[in-house]
Amino acid sequence: MAASILVVDRVTKRFSGHTAVDGLSLDVPPGVIFGLLGPNGAGKTTTIRMIMNITIPDEGSVRLFNGTGTARDHADRIGFLPEERGLYPKMRVLDVLLFLAEMRGMDRRTARSRALEWLDRLGLSDWRSRRVSELSKGMQQKVQFASSLLHDPDLVIFDEPFSGLDPVNAEVMRETVLDLRRRGKTILFSTQIMEHAEKLCDHICIIARGKKLVDDSLTQVKESYSGRHLIVAFDGSQGGAAAVFADRRLVAGLQDFGAYAEVELAQGADAQDVLKSLVSSGARLSRFELAAPSLHTIFVGLVGPDAARPGAVTHA
Amino acid sequence: MRKILAVVRREFVERVRTKWFWIGTVLGPLFFGGMILVRLLNGEHSGVERRVAVIDQTTGGTGARLVDGLSASLERFHFVRVPTSPRAVDSLTNVVIAKDLDGFLLVSDSTLDDGSVEYRGSNVSSLADMEELRSTLGRQVFAVRLERHGIDPAVVRDAELTVAMATHKIRGTKVTGESGEQAFTLSFAMAIILFLAIVLYGVNVMSSVLEEKTTRIVEVLVSSLRPFELMLGKVLGAGAVGIVQLTVWLLSVKVLAGQQERLAAWVGVDHTGAQAPALVLPQVPATTMAVFVVYFLLGYFLYAAVFAAVGAISGTEQEARQAQTPVTLLLMVPYLSVFAILNDPNSISARWFTFVPFWSPVAAPVRWSAAPIPPAELATSILILLLSVLLVTWVAARIYRVGILMTGKRPSAREIIRWVRAG
């Protein structure tokens, strides 16, 4: 295995009253998309800030590109998109991009041609002489996105890159991230939206309350949870399904997505028994299959339903 | 280094692009042009004719004698003698209200006995009018009193002479062409420019720091360059804007002062011939200019660092405005002491002002313009200021480094001290 691009070694960060990150270690190999997942307040942003040398860890260390030096020393090789995105509101779009590229060590000429390329690619060419404040939030986010990639970094760190994006723009970003990996770049991003992580990540790390819960490749994670989950959909009458799902001997957990439900089997329970019970309760089934659980289900199972993102209805 | 230059360039270009820069740059010359115009118009104003009545309460015809004397010596005043009557004051007051008269004098015997006299009129706030009237009347009273003692009126008239005193400043070993008024104008203008420029451009640094902090763009920046480099770039960039603006202002002053004749013609004031221009620019010796520049630069760096720290500990514009007030007041102290320093440039207090680092940027050039500061004192003053700049920048950079990444409420003084001490 190639030497890691980013190693976070047992870092701890305490703020007055609470520990935001507690002895967390990460190991990011080159060329992967690494998802840092966790509910609100899990310590994702604090971890990223420590990686970027914006906050200094109380304990532990961060090693980049297998050598010494902080993120600032490697500024020309790292792209960074912070959580609370900000650009100079009064500056013109192109000027902001040029300035931020200069901060990353580029010369203005190269920066200029790259910036124009990126604006074109993101459909913002007509906006390059406008002030940032005249752009919509989504457009500003795209500008920021471009600014973090302008210098063609080897390691890209995105904090919640998809928050606040409409589906079209989210797709543009997704394509860009995949394209970066194709070109051998390493991407670390944080998110609390599991669907994005599931579609993109090679490797995930789920953290909660500053501690690591899962750290493995996505396929490994899903495999270790497979065979214990059912997907159930009804065709009209649900009969006595609610009572069956409430039976703790058969069902350990339930994620009701409306159109279908994901059922986590209880320890030692047999999927066939669940099927029998459902049929005899009078439910009409349109779908009943053993499936690998969605990342969302795994996530909720790990960090608890309270931490699930809003929108998912959960029944214990 | 290249990154610092990029910060300097951004700071400069963005600031110059704002409308406030242009408004400020144009406002300076307009202000100065306005000042010249006011003086031109005032100059003409002093030639305006005045109609003044004299209520004669004297006995024995001295009133008429005074009125004759006044009329003979004050050409632009027309005097009319009015014999006293119970209703004279009231009716003349009405004439003044109707603007048919500028005012009236109440002359009585006591005017000749103890010099008391009363003037009522609409032009009492014109210092030139009042001074002319008072001094001319004084000479007439003086003459009448001499005549009372039997001096020949012809001798008295012959003895009358108005003294015109020209003031010339002695600087070092030579007499300069500078008049007292010019010297004062120069000192005062320097104080205004130093105070305004340091506060104005210092506050620019503060708002720029605050913008990066509130937009959180500072997180991207400090992951690319050291906070100190960022702060340095900002201070230099805003300072460069200041130097450009100051240069424009000073050049415009020079150009406008050379165009006073045209200005006069433009506003329709007859301003040709032997009369001197309304505003004579004081000659600024090269040494004074050098002292001015040195103190401006050091003073700017000193205050800009403080303003940067103030911006870093504030969360909003409003908080920043509150927090900057004490800083501005600190610089206000020497500004308000300009008169005292000019009055006695070598007094103990003037010397103190030269040494205290937060005051010397304004006080020392003002003192220098009034009287040369002994070389040892000047060197000490500059050295103290220079060391203060280094120390204050060091402290400010430590506050800045932590402050710009802080969110939430403003830190307490104790917290700030901890930031400074933390390695």
Assess whether A32 and A174 both reside in one domain.
yes
Select from A75, A90, A105 the Cβ nearest to the Cβ of B14: A90
Output the pLDDT for position A261: 85
Output the pLDDT for position A313: 35
Q: Note whether residue A61 is domain-resident.
A: yes
CATH number at residue A142: 3.40.50.300
Select from A54, A88, A89 the Cβ nearest to the Cβ of B222: A54
Q: Which of A78, A99, A145 to mutate to test the interface with B (most CBs of B within 10 A)?
A: A99
Assess whether A188 and A245 both reside in one domain.
no
Band of residue B271 on the pLDDT scale cut at 50, 70, 90: low
Percentage of chain A modeled with pLDDT above 90: 22
CB contact under 8 A, A82 and B14: no
- Contact B21/A at CB under 8 A: no
What is the number of domains present in chain A? Answer: 2
Assess whether A205 and A228 both reside in one domain.
no
Task: Write out the two tokens for A8.
Answer: 């976070």
Band of residue A281 on the pLDDT scale cut at 50, 70, 90: confident
Q: Which are the contacts of A59, defined by CB distance < 8 A and separation ≥ 6?
A: A10, A11, A12, A23
Select from B211, B219, B224 the Cβ nearest to the Cβ of A82: B219
Output the pLDDT for position A100: 92
A74-78, B30-34, B354-358: range with lowest mean pLDDT = B30-34
Q: Note whether residue A232 is domain-resident.
A: yes
- CA closest to B227 among chain A residues: A54
Mean of pLDDT values over A27-39: 90
Residues of B in contact with A90 (CB under 8 A): 14, 18
**B256-to-A246, B234, B277, B279 alpha-carbon distances in Å:** 91, 33, 12, 10
Question: Could you read off the pLDDT of B214-246 as tens digits, one per residue?
Answer: 888 888 888 888 888 999 999 999 999 988 988
- Where is the domain boundary, A155, A184, A217? A217
Assess whether A179 and A247 both reside in one domain.
no
The chain-wide mean pLDDT, for chain B, equals 84
Assess whether A264 and A182 both reside in one domain.
no
- Where is the domain boundary, A217, A238, A265? A217
Q: Is the pLDDT of residue A218 over 70?
A: yes
Contact B239, B42 (CB under 8 A): no
CATH number at residue A230: 3.30.70
Q: Is the pLDDT of residue A268 over 90?
A: no
- Contact B3/A at CB under 8 A: yes
Output the pLDDT for position B269: 65
- Where is the domain boundary, A217, A248, A263? A217
The chain-wide mean pLDDT, for chain A, equals 84
Assess whether A182 and A250 both reside in one domain.
no
Q: Is the pLDDT of residue A126 over 50?
A: yes
A4-18, A75-89, A286-300, B176-190: range with lowest mean pLDDT = B176-190
Q: Is the pLDDT of residue A116 over 90?
A: yes
Mean of pLDDT values over A110-125: 91
Output the pLDDT for position B176: 65
Which range has the top average pLDDT, A30-44, A299-313, B262-276, B401-415? A30-44
Question: Could you read off the pLDDT of B34-79 as tens digits, one per residue?
Answer: 877 777 776 655 567 888 999 988 887 888 888 888 888 888 888 9
- Contact B415/A at CB under 8 A: no
Question: Could you read off the pLDDT of B300-354 as tens digits, one per residue?
Answer: 999 999 999 998 888 888 888 888 899 999 998 888 888 888 888 888 888 888 8
Residues of B in contact with A148 (CB under 8 A): 220
Residues of A in contact with B219 (CB under 8 A): 49, 52, 54, 80, 82, 84, 86
Band of residue A39 on the pLDDT scale cut at 50, 70, 90: confident
Helices (H), chain A: 44-51, 93-103, 108-121, 137-149, 167-182, 194-200, 218-225, 241-245, 271-280, 295-303
Assess whether A147 and A49 both reside in one domain.
yes
Q: What number of H helices and E strands is found in chain B? A: 18, 6
Strands (E), B19-157: 50-57, 77-83, 103-108, 118-121
Where does residue A62 fall: left (phi above 0), alpha (psi -120 to 50 degrees), or beta otherwise?
A: beta
Percentage of chain B modeled with pLDDT above 90: 16
Q: Note whether residue A1 is domain-resident.
A: no
Band of residue A315 on the pLDDT scale cut at 50, 70, 90: very low
Q: Is the pLDDT of residue A33 over 90?
A: yes
Assess whether A242 and A108 both reside in one domain.
no
Phi, psi of A224 (to 5 degrees): -70, -15
Output the pLDDT for position B408: 66
Q: Which of B8, B224, B226, B405 to mutate to test the interface with A (most CBs of A within 10 A)?
A: B224
DSSP state letters, B205-246 = HHHHHHHHHHTTHHHHHHTTS-HHHHHHHHHHHHHHHHHHHH
Band of residue A309 on the pLDDT scale cut at 50, 70, 90: very low
Touching B: A residues 96-115, CB under 8 Å:
99-100, 102-105
Contact A96, A87 (CB under 8 A): yes
Assess whether A206 and A228 both reside in one domain.
no
Output the pLDDT for position A80: 92
Assess whether A94 and A127 both reside in one domain.
yes
Question: Could you read off the pLDDT of A128-168 as tens digits, one per residue?
Answer: 999 999 998 888 888 988 999 999 999 999 998 888 788 88
Output the pLDDT for position B398: 87
Contact A294, A262 (CB under 8 A): yes
Question: Which has more confidence, A293 or A37?
Answer: A37
Q: Which CATH number fits domain B49-159: 1.10.10, 3.40.50, 3.30.420, 1.10.3470?
A: 3.40.50
Output the pLDDT for position B252: 85
Question: Could you read off the pLDDT of A16-30 as tens digits, one per residue?
Answer: 778 888 888 899 999
Q: Which domain range does residue A94 map to?
A: 6-217
- SS3 at position B46: coil
CB contact under 8 A, B223 and A75: yes
- Contact A52/B at CB under 8 A: yes
Element (H, E) at A73: none
Percentage of chain B modeled with pLDDT above 70: 91
CA of A83, closest CA in chain B: separation in Å?
9
Q: Note whether residue A33 is domain-resident.
A: yes
CA pair distance A255, A300, nearest whole angstrom: 9
Output the pLDDT for position A131: 92
Residue limits of CATH 3.40.50 in chain B: 49-159
CB contact under 8 A, A75 and B225: yes
Assess whether A128 and A183 both reside in one domain.
yes
Assess whether A24 and A88 both reside in one domain.
yes
Q: Is the pLDDT of residue B12 over 90?
A: yes
Select from A82, A103, A104 the Cβ nearest to the Cβ of B216: A82
CB contact under 8 A, B3 and A90: no
Q: Is the pLDDT of residue A308 over 60?
A: no
Q: If we measure between CA atoms, which residue out of A72, A57, A69, A63 comes closest to residue A22?
A: A57
Task: Count other C-beta atoms under 10 Å from residue B140's C-beta.
Answer: 24
Task: Write out the two tokens for A40.
Answer: 């609100």
Contact A77, A65 (CB under 8 A): yes
Q: Note whether residue A124 is domain-resident.
A: yes
A to B CB pairs, distance under 8 Å: 69
Touching A: B residues 387-406, CB under 8 Å:
405
Output the pLDDT for position A299: 82
HSE at residue A1, side-chain half, CA atoms within 13 A, is: 9
Task: Write out the two tokens for B118.
Answer: 């009363």
